[in-house]
Amino acid sequence: MDQQIWIYLLVGVTFAIYIGIALWTKAGSTKEFYVAGGGVSPLANGMATAADWMSAASFISMAGLISFAGYDGAVFLMGWTGGYVLLALLLAPYLRKFGKFTVPDFIGDRYYSNTARTVAVICALFISFTYVAGQMRGVGVVFSRYLEVDINTGVYIGMAIVFFYAVLGGMKGITYTQVAQYVILIFAFMVPAIFISIQLTGNPIPMLGFGSKMTGSETYLLDKLNGLHAELGFAEYTSGSKSMVDIFFITAALMVGTSGLPHVIVRFFTVPRVRDARISAGYALVFIAILYTSAPAVAAFARTNLIQTVSNKEYSLMPEWFSNWEQTKLLIFEDKNDDGVIQYVADEKKNELTIDKDIMVLANPEIAQLPNWVVGLMAAGGLAAALSTAAGLLLVISTSVSHDLVKKQIAPDISDKAELWIARGAAIVAVVVAGYFGINPPGFVAAVVALAFGLAAASFFPAIILGIFYQRMNKYGAIAGMVSGLTITLFYMITFKFNAFGETTADDLWFGISPEGFGTVGMLINFIVSFAVSAMTPPPPQHVMDIVDNIRFPRGAGEASGMH
Amino acid sequence: MKDNKASMKAYWKRNLRYLLILLVVWFTVSYGCGILLVDQLNHIKIGGFPLGFWFAQQGSIYVFVILIFVYVRLMNKLDKEFDVDEK
């Protein structure tokens, strides 16, 4: 069957599944809308968390980034998985015991202050909008290549689908859609990974094929790749080129940011018991690890395949995928020395090939000449990854507005039914804003997402941790900490990432820390400010001390509720 | 026994001790083996993998998964021991 027919068929079938689930799980109360009724099984929650959190960046961009970064790609691999250890050990069980709907809810109650609640809402909105922008751009990339429609049309289709199940079903709709999306995305990621692993190394398990010998040769794949890199003048694949300090800070920012992301944390409010929250963080990491331990393998395979296919080969002999991707302008060849041969080298002046990192995963099946249905599967998987995360974020946005701003502050007497309609209305507005970002993308997918992690690390994480582990922590400290952490991190990113105050170079960075890693510094500043300010101000009232005592042991968790 | 303050203190102390040990392992494997000692470990090869590179790109992730499941087991046992588990 034709490749295009496969794509339409597989994408169409998966969309039908999402809409079907949305109709079946329509939310009838705010409790269902916010926390899916609170009765999600830990295994289903683990799967939904994995899909929620593995975004277009994980699916489309990550292996590509690692493919070009080599060892330096470790920041994404360790950063985006190590945070689950922090989440499982330090956050999830206590927040589940606390038993409210949202992260600002915890911050507002723990710090007995609507100011703290509002600061938390602003942080949540900030992180979610930064992040959702990346997702919508991801939807656009996938659509424009695979459905052969305009990027804008692609974003509209994506908006319509998300609108349907996020607005209608709320958390309940999202949870079960995400379970389906996880299955689709992991299948779509693993099938080509397994095929290519067999082709290159004869080992069907990509995680092991990665460290195996090349088929029909006595050379290990990684040694071969290091050799190719040396020949072309790139840094050694297994050593990378970033400084140790930078790697350290970026990894830390991504780890801490992961555990502080509001759309991930709220998933742990949906399980029935504290012990379910603990184990479902474990399940989530298992499901994530399947993709995350394959991604570095896919990256090394793709890199080897790419160099062997294009380096020093005649342009006229390039396979069909090459011209397919040239049309999208994500792959550009300019013959600088007019010899008709592709020079792909590290030296910018001599290099003739420009490759967008995003295409490495999407083009992989074509580069490896896999059957047409695999290409269709990639399209469905990429869309599943982007849509599931976008929906999770939209829910955080709508919940922050309807629950934490309207219900908790502006109009506390509002009925459950009216609150539900406000939540839906906020979700609609959020979909439109997210769509706007998809059409006018603010930057490269993974880069923007990495910034969201930095912001989460610098704002939420210390406030939540101290709220649980440091009873003496008061509202003044927490508010000052969140504001200062967020401000300094934003300032650094705007200065060095977006060059808002004039052009900057790598030499201008403070201690050589990239903007992506600065969230770690923001977090440390948040901790220091929090301690200092709370030491100089009165301790929290007794009923707050009792809340802290109470969340430290599991018994009596009850169901998550919005009541006092 | 949740009314018993001394018992709750002991429970929390044990919890913190578990956390500390698990987080030390977490830090050693990821930041230690994957970043700080990566060059030294890369001299050792297991199959086609330089060891430091392996820890950074795969090994640490396997350890993370194991850590969470160890934590779940320890805490479920601890909850029972101090009679604060959910029925």
Quick: pLDDT tens for B4-60: 788 889 999 999 999 999 999 999 999 999 999 999 999 999 888 999 999 999 999
Considering only CB atoms, A78 lies closest to which of B30, B50, B72, namely B30
User: Is B79 at the interface with chain A, CB within 8 A?
Assistant: yes
Query: Which one of A74, A279, A281 has the shortest CB-CB distance to B34?
Result: A74
Q: What pLDDT, on a 0 to 100 scale, did the predictor assign at position A444?
A: 57
Measured CA to CA, the distance from residue A349 to residue A564 in angstroms comes to 66
Element (H, E) at B50: strand B49-50
What type of residue is A478?
A
> Which chain A residue lies closest to B13 (C-alpha atoms)?
A552
- Does the distance separating the beta carbons of B8 and A552 come in below 8 Å? yes
Q: Rounded to two decimals, what is the model's pTM?
A: 0.91
pLDDT at position B3: 58
Q: Is A332 helix (H, G, I), strand (E, B) or coil?
A: strand
Min mean pLDDT across A178-187, A528-537, A548-557 is at A548-557
- pLDDT category at A329 given cuts 50, 70, 90 is confident
Residues in B closer than 8 angstroms to A244, CB to CB, are 35-36, 38
First CA to last CA distance, chain A: 59
Six-digit token string for A500: 């808002």
What is the phi-psi region of residue A511: left when phi exceeds 0, alpha when psi lies from -120 to 50, beta otherwise?
left
Q: Which amino acid is present at A8?
A: Y
> What average pLDDT does range A81-104 have in this prediction?
92
- How far is the CA of A155 from the CAs of A139, A161, A352, A434, A549, in angstroms? 6, 10, 32, 9, 47
Q: Are A136 and A382 in contact (CB under 8 A)?
A: no
Whether the per-residue pLDDT at A530 is higher than 70: the answer is yes
Å between B48 CA and nearest CA of chain A: 4
A443 pLDDT higher than 90: no
A78 interaction partners in chain B (CB closer than 8 Å): 30, 34, 56, 60-61
- Rounded-to-integer distance, Cα A304 and Cα A308, Å: 6
Cβ contacts of B53 on chain A, cutoff 8 Å:
71, 74, 222, 238-239
Residue A293 has its nearest CB partner, among B19, B48, B61, at: B61
Please give the DSSP secondary-structure letter assigned to residue A158: H
Tell me how far apart the alpha carbons of residues B7 and B10 are, in angstroms, rounded to a whole number: 5
Nearest-CA distance B6 → chain A (Å): 13
Q: How far apart are CA A248 and CA A252, in angstroms?
A: 6
pLDDT number for residue B1: 44
| Minimal C-alpha gap between B68 and chain A (Å) | 6
Nearest to A446 by CA among A190, A15, A68, A160: A68
Q: How far B30 CA sits from the closest chain A CA (Å)?
A: 7
Residue A85: the pLDDT is 96
Report pLDDT for A123. 85
Chain B residues in contact with A255 (beta carbon < 8 A): 30
Whether residues B85 and A554 touch (CB distance < 8 A) is answered with: yes
Chains A, B: CB pairs < 8 Å = 143
